Structure 1
C-alpha cells in the first residue's frame, strides 16, 4: 500500500492505494503555502490515517523537477519551490518519495484507467487556466524523472496571424519566461486575452463560451482565432508522438462542442487520418492527479521489489 497526494496551491488531497483499481480518496486539506513545517505536518497527519504501514509516498504537483539538480519549480507553493523536495520529505517523513508533474499524472490516469485504455501512445492535454500535457507510451510515463515531456503549452509557436479575416496576434509574455507560448492563448485566461484583443471587452471564459454557444458573432470570432492558434501545435504534438488518443482535462474540457471543434481542427492537420474522434474528454473526472500519482507510485514499488 502507498499513500498518494495531489498537491495544489490551495488544497492537498490524499489517498491510499492498494492496487491500480483500489484507491481511496480522503477529504481535502488546506495547503500551507508559506510554511514547510506545516506542509510536512499535513502530510504526516494524512499518512497517520493509513490502514497499514505504507511502502512509499507518491505526489502529484503543479511543478517540474529538474532531472539534474532534483530541485522543484513550483511557483504557487513558495515553501516547496526550489527544494529537493523528494529528499527533504523522505528525511522528514521516513518513506521513499516519488514526485511527478500534475499533467503527467493526469496523462497516466487517463492512459491506464480512462479514455486512453487500449492505446499504446496517449497524449494527455490540459486546457484549464493554462495549457499542459503529458505523454504515456506502452503504459509508462515518458521522462517521468523530470516532468518536461509533453509540455506542449510552453514553446513560442503561436501564429502571428489568426482568424478570418486574419488578425495580428501579439507574442504575449509567458510565465515560463518565453514569449508567444501556447499557454498564453490556449487556456481559459488565454481565451479571455484573445477576446479582449479582438473586442476590447473583458469577459470570463465561461461568458465567452456561453455567448458562442448562443450564436454571438463576436464570441464566434474569438473561437475562430482560438482554434487557429491552438489546433496546429496540438496537431504537431500528435504528429511527433504518434499518439492515437488525446484525452483532455481542465475546465475547458467540460465544453463538449469546443472539444468537438478542436478535434475536427486537429484531425484536419495531422498526417495519420482517423475516422473517429482523436481529441476526447477525459474519463477520470474525479481526482485524476491522485489516481495518476497512485499508479506511478505502485509501479515504482513493484520495480524496486523486482530489483531487490
Structure 2
C-alpha cells in the first residue's frame, strides 16, 4: 500500500479566475469527510496567478506544473496520489459548432479560454493519472459543511461571490457525512446563471442576459459603479463610501445589489429550505451582506420568518482547495 493511501494524503486544486491554488493534505485516520472530523493536516501549499488571458494551453500547463510543484514541496509522488480539482462551470458533450464530443468539454467557465475544451481529460493526461473534478462552488460548500461554517447542517447551500458567482448544494446523511448533490445533469447549485432579467439585464459570457453573476460578482459591481460615477474604484472602497461618505452612487448601487442578493437567495430558500447558506469569495467580505442581507432575503422568501442562517465562510480562501481534496 502506498504512503498516500495509508495516510489518506490527497492533492486538492482550486482553479479560479484570478488564481490557481494547490494543497497537499493528510485527511487523517478513518472516514475523511465525516462531519465530526478535525480539519486536515496541511503538508504543502502553492499558489500562482491564473493569467487566463494567455489562453488554454497556458492554463493547462501551469495547472500541471503547480500539481508537481506542491507534490515536490510535500515530498510525495503526484502520479500515485489521488488528486481533486475544483473549477468554475460545468461540462457538456455538445460541441459549440454542433455535433457530439468524445470527451467532456468545459462549459460556462468564467475562465473563458477553457470553454469548449476537454480540460478534464487533458489535465489527467498531462499529470499521468485519473483526476476527480467538480464545480468549485460544490468544493467550497463541501469543505464548509465538513470542517467549517456549515458543519452539522443537514442541508447547506454554499455561495461563491467573487470573480464569478456560483453555488453548491451539500446534504449530510444519517451517518453525519456531507455529500455534494450534483443533480441529474451535474448542474445543481448553478445559482450564478439563474436569469433575473433576460431583456434588459447585463450581458453574461454564457450568452444570456441578466444572470445573477452579472449583478453580484465583484467585477460586475465595480464595473457598474464605474459606469455610473465615471471613476473606477475597488469593491472595498465602494462599500466603504456607501456607508461612511456622501457617495450617492455607491449607496444606491449597494442598496440595489443587496435587494438582488435577497431576491436571488429567496429562490434558493423556497426550493431547498437549507439550514444554512454560507458565503465565500471576495464579495462575501462585505459586512452589508450579513447586516442587511438576511432582511433582504426575508422580504422575498415564501414564509413569515427566515429560519435559514446566512453566515460567512470559516475556512477563508482555503475552502475551495480543501473541498477539492475531498473529491478523489
> For the superposition of Structure 1 and Structure 2, which TM-score range results when normalised by the shorter chain?
0.7 to 0.9
Deviation at 1:188, TM superposition (A): 2.3
Find out whether 1:154 has 2:180 as its counterpart.
no
Question: Where does residue 165 of structure 1 map in the other structure?
Answer: none
Distance in structure 1 (CA, Å) of the matches to 2:62 and 2:317: 26
Cross-structure match for 1:106? 140
Once the two structures are superposed, residues 237-287 of structure 1 have per-residue CA deviations (whole angstroms, 9 ceiling, x without a partner) of 121112111111112211223322111211232235657672211111132
Question: Structure 1 residue 185: deviation in Å?
Answer: 1.1
Correspondence for 1:22? 40
Aligned with 2:88 (options 55, 62, 66) = 62
- Computed over aligned residues only, the root mean square deviation of the Cα atoms, in angstroms, reads 2.9
- CA separation in 2, counterparts of 1:238 and 1:130? 21
| Contact 2:165/2:212, CA 8 A, preserved across alignment | yes
Q: Deviations over 1:106-137 (max 9, x none)?
A: 11111111111111111111222332211111
Q: Where do residues 98-247 of structure 1 align in structure 2 (5 Å cutoff)?
A: 98-138=132-172, 139-143=178-182, 148-158=187-197, 170-195=200-225, 202-214=232-244, 216=246, 218=248, 219-247=250-278
2:136 is the alignment partner of 1:91: no
* TM value normalised by structure 1: 0.80
TM-score (norm 2): 0.76
Task: Tell me the number of residue pairs that the alignment of Structure 1 and Structure 2 aligns.
Answer: 287
- Gaps (5+ residues) in structure 1? 161-169, 298-308
Q: Answer whether contact 1:249 1:281 (CA < 8 A) is retained.
A: yes
CA distance in 2, matches of 1:131, 1:11: 15
Where do 1:249-260 residues align within 5 Å? Answer: 249-260=280-291
8 Å contact kept, 2:47–2:66: no
* Partner Cα separation in structure 2 for residue 77 and residue 202 of structure 1: 24
Q: Is residue 185–residue 193 contact of structure 1 (8 Å, CA) maintained in 2?
A: no
Instruction: Give, in whole Å, the separation in 1 of the partners of 2:48 and 2:297.
Output: 39
Moved over 6 A (4+): none
Which residue number in structure 1 is paired with residue 5 of structure 2? none
Contact 1:121 1:245 in 2 (8 A): yes
1:284 aligns with 2:308: no
